[in-house]
Structure 1
Amino acid sequence: MAFPLPRGITPPEISFLAEMEMVTVLPRQRLDGLELLGGSLPTLLPPRRTTLPLWLALLLKRQRRANILPPPWLHPESLELILEIETQNDEYQHAFSPPPPLPGQPTLAHRDRDRDRAVAAPVPRYTPDGDKYYPTPPFLPQNVARDHIPPGEPPALPFHWLEVGTMLLDAASDDLVEPDQTRRLLKELREVRTAKIRSGVEVLDAAAVGGGGVALTGVGAMEVGEGRGFIAGVVDGLRRIGASKEQARREELAEEMANGGYDASQDYEDDMEF
């Protein structure tokens, strides 16, 4: 008998995919380059910064061979600003903070300044065989350290923000700024955003009868994986309720048609006319 697996990708699988996110490390000793399936890795020369996959950076961190530089969004100031947008901004009372722009798209600051301009299309990349493709997380540099951030650009949570933040807090908390406060802010953000996902019952009701969909712009991968069961269960339950109501209405209409359109209310109308 086959083991029944839940529909969709599971949270452990999402965490496994998040380990392919690229992060910035500061090597503590010289290490030769590696040939991986995703490409060649350069030689690590301290104190030169290098971008590595998260799984390799965590391995080197546990071996005390490198330090991990946190991404710009994983700072207490950035998380506090994102939490303020999620809770106090009227525009995002029932929505989520904007995600990072795709490659080739304007930044969030440029979007606010030039709202009337059309959003640029993402820039494609090409494989060694010449095939065109558009990279998506975890193959985007959304978690690498940045030396310069343009003024006025608000921080944004990447697609794997919860997984990357949890892994870095568990394995490299000494490399983060105020890890206890960072952990508290991540927990508050997760609770606020989870409450938003679970509060869209009216939207789910409209989606169940074909009246629209559920907007998930800005929702992270782990949030989608954890909320998949709840959202699918609610939509399926509402669909069943709507189907039972529709079936009862059709049976009542068929019964009236079988009786020649006669119902008990006609007796009362005849008595009034008499």
Structure 2
Amino acid sequence: MAFPLPRGISPSEIEFISEMEMVTVVPRQRLEGLDLLSGPTEKLLPPQRATLPLWLAILLKRQRRVNIVPPYWLHPESLQIILQFETETREYTDAFSPPPRLPGQRRPGDDNRRNQPPPPRPKHTLDGERYHPSPPFLPQNTALTAGEESERDKEIALPYHWLEVGNMLLDAASDDLTEPDQIRRLLKDLREVRMSKMRKGVDILDTAATAGGGVALTGVGAMEIGEMRGFVAGVVEGLRKIGASREQARREQLAEEGPTQADAQDEDDDMEF
């Protein structure tokens, strides 16, 4: 007898999907572009930087053909800023830090046209059709260019696949990262802080289960949702059962007490009519 599959996506499947994220590499030898299902890749011409899918970058890294440039958020200073923001900011003591800004999205207070972000660049499929990439597969794990380094502090945020990308880069390209041991410790601290915030949302889940509505998960990553899916689903199902038993007990109590005075008055009015 086969066991039923769990609801949602498993952590291994989430990690497999995150391998489609784009990262920046510095090639060590020439390599022609490849025609993949996701589209053609760039030609690798040392020492020019190129953008490749994470799975291909890790494969070439293991073959010592490229070096992976860590994304702007995977630096000890950036992770430390995010960790302090998660723990010390009053507005986000029970919430999560905001996700990266989408292409074309303004920041609060950006009224000047010079500060407006450029419109998103379209891409093309193998058939030549144009399309715009959408979350979570946006260029949020690529390294910043020289002109974007000045905007680094304003753009520090955890992407959707931050945990998966960080762990895979630590395993496959730790020599390309700055202070990998400190990065590993900061990722662990961030994960514990954010998971504790999700566990504290039981009261919100109680309100959402009884009164309806939902729970805001803005800024939560894919692996965090996948790991907490079973816990949250179990809590909501248990709260619904408790609410149903309370409602059944209330109805039984009303049935035992008999008709109220208002119901008796309504019956007398019906008889007079």
Q: TM-score range by the shorter chain?
A: 0.7 to 0.9
Q: How does 1:168-247 map to 2 (within 5 A)?
A: 168-247=169-248
Partner of 1:19: 19
Q: When the two structures are superposed, what TM-score results if normalisation uses the length of structure 1?
A: 0.85
Q: Which residue of 138, 141, 147 corresponds with 2:139?
A: 141
Gaps of 5+ in 1: 263-274
Change (3 A) 1:103 1:4: same
Q: Note the alpha carbon deviations across 1:112-161, whole angstroms, 9 max, x for none.
A: 556xxxx99x8695866868666121x21000000223445140000000
Which secondary structure state, in structure 2, belongs to the residue aligned with residue 23 of structure 1?
strand
Q: Note the alpha carbon deviations across 1:4-24, whole angstroms, 9 max, x for none.
A: 110011110000000000000
Counterpart code for 1:237: G
Counterpart code for 1:145: A
How many Å separate the matches in 1 of 2:61 and 2:132? 33
Which secondary structure state, in structure 2, belongs to the residue aligned with residue 26 of structure 1?
strand
Shift in Å, 1:214: 1.1
How many Å separate the matches in 2 of 1:111 and 1:89? 18
Gaps of 5+ in 2: 262-273
Task: Report the number of matched residues.
Answer: 251
Counterpart code for 2:154: E
Which secondary structure state, in structure 2, belongs to the residue aligned with residue 73 of structure 1?
coil
How many Å separate the matches in 2 of 1:10 and 1:215? 22
Q: Note the alpha carbon deviations across 1:51-89, whole angstroms, 9 max, x for none.
A: 000000000001111000000000000000000000000
Counterpart code for 1:141: P
How many Å separate the matches in 2 of 1:82 and 1:62? 30
Comparing 210-219 with 45-54, greater Cα deviation is found at 210-219
User: Given that residues 76 and 182 in structure 2 are in contact (C-alpha distance below 8 angstroms), is that contact kept between their aligned partners in structure 1?
Assistant: yes
User: Given that residues 42 and 52 in structure 2 are in contact (C-alpha distance below 8 angstroms), is that contact kept between their aligned partners in structure 1?
Assistant: no
Percent identity of equivalent pairs: 66
Which secondary structure state, in structure 2, belongs to the residue aligned with residue 111 of structure 1?
coil
Which secondary structure state, in structure 2, belongs to the residue aligned with residue 209 of structure 1?
helix
Q: Note the alpha carbon deviations across 1:29-67, whole angstroms, 9 max, x for none.
A: 111211101111122111110000000000000111100
User: Given that residues 98 and 217 in structure 1 are in contact (C-alpha distance below 8 angstroms), is that contact kept between their aligned partners in structure 2?
Assistant: yes
Q: When the two structures are superposed, what TM-score results if normalisation uses the length of structure 2?
A: 0.86
RMSD: 2.2
Change (3 A) 1:124 1:238: farther
How many Å separate the matches in 2 of 1:133 and 1:146? 20
